[in-house]
Amino acid sequence: MVTIELLRRALKLELPDVPFDDEVLEHLAPVDPEAVDALQAWLPFLISHGVAFDEESAGEVFRRLAQRLRSLARPEEARPSSPQPRQPEIPEETEKESVQIPGLEEWLETLSLSAYLPKTRAWCSRVGASTLQQVMEKWEDLAAELLLKELPKRRMGKAVEACRPPAAGDDRTIADLIARASAERRLFGPEDDPYILSEQLGKGAQGTVHRCWRPKHKGEEFAVKRIALQKHFRLQRDADRTKERLKAEANILFSLRHAHIVQLFDVIETKEWLYLVMELVEGGELFDIIVKHENKHLSEPEARSVFKQVADALRYIHSKGLVHRDLKPENILVDQKASRDGLLEVKITDFGYAKLVDDGYSTALTQVGTPQYWAPEVSDAGVCAKGYDERVDLWSLGVVLYVMLEGVYPFSGEEQIKQASFRFHRPTSSRAKDLIRALIQVRPEDRLGLDDCLKHSWIQMDSRSASALKPNSLEGDIECFDLDAEPSNVAELRRELQKFMTRFKVSAQLKKRQVEVTWSKNVDREAARGALLQILRCSQHRSQCKQGRADAIPSLLAASEATCE
* CATH code where residue 448 lies: 1.10.510.10
> Within this chain, do residues 443 and 318 fall inside the same structural domain, yes or no?
yes
Work out whether the CA dihedral 126, 127, 133, 139 comes out positive or negative.
Answer: negative
Mapped onto helix, strand or coil, the DSSP state of residue 82 is coil
pLDDT in tens, 442-467: 999 999 999 999 999 999 987 654 44
Q: What CATH number is given to the structural domain containing 485?
A: 3.30.70
**529 lies in a domain?**
yes
Q: What pTM did the predictor assign?
A: 0.63
Number of domains composing the chain: 5
> Within this chain, do residues 307 and 344 fall inside the same structural domain, yes or no?
yes
Residue range of the domain that includes 135: 104-163
pLDDT in tens, 127-150: 888 888 888 889 999 999 999 988
Mapped onto helix, strand or coil, the DSSP state of residue 382 is helix
**396 lies in a domain?**
yes
Active site residues: 326
Give the confidence band of 558 by pLDDT, cuts at 50, 70, 90: very low
pLDDT in tens, 209-238: 899 998 887 778 999 988 877 655 555 555
The packing angle between helices 525-546 and 490-504, to 10°, is: 170
Boundary of a domain, candidates 52, 72, 92: 72
Give the confidence band of 500 by pLDDT, cuts at 50, 70, 90: confident
> Within this chain, do residues 419 and 442 fall inside the same structural domain, yes or no?
yes
**78 lies in a domain?**
no
Distance CA 463, CA 211 (A): 37
> Within this chain, do residues 131 and 60 fall inside the same structural domain, yes or no?
no
> Within this chain, do residues 256 and 292 fall inside the same structural domain, yes or no?
no
Phi, psi of 196 (to 5 degrees): -115, 125
pLDDT at 79: 41
**409 lies in a domain?**
yes
Encode 83-103 in three state secondary structure.
CCCCCCCCCCCCCCCCCCCCC
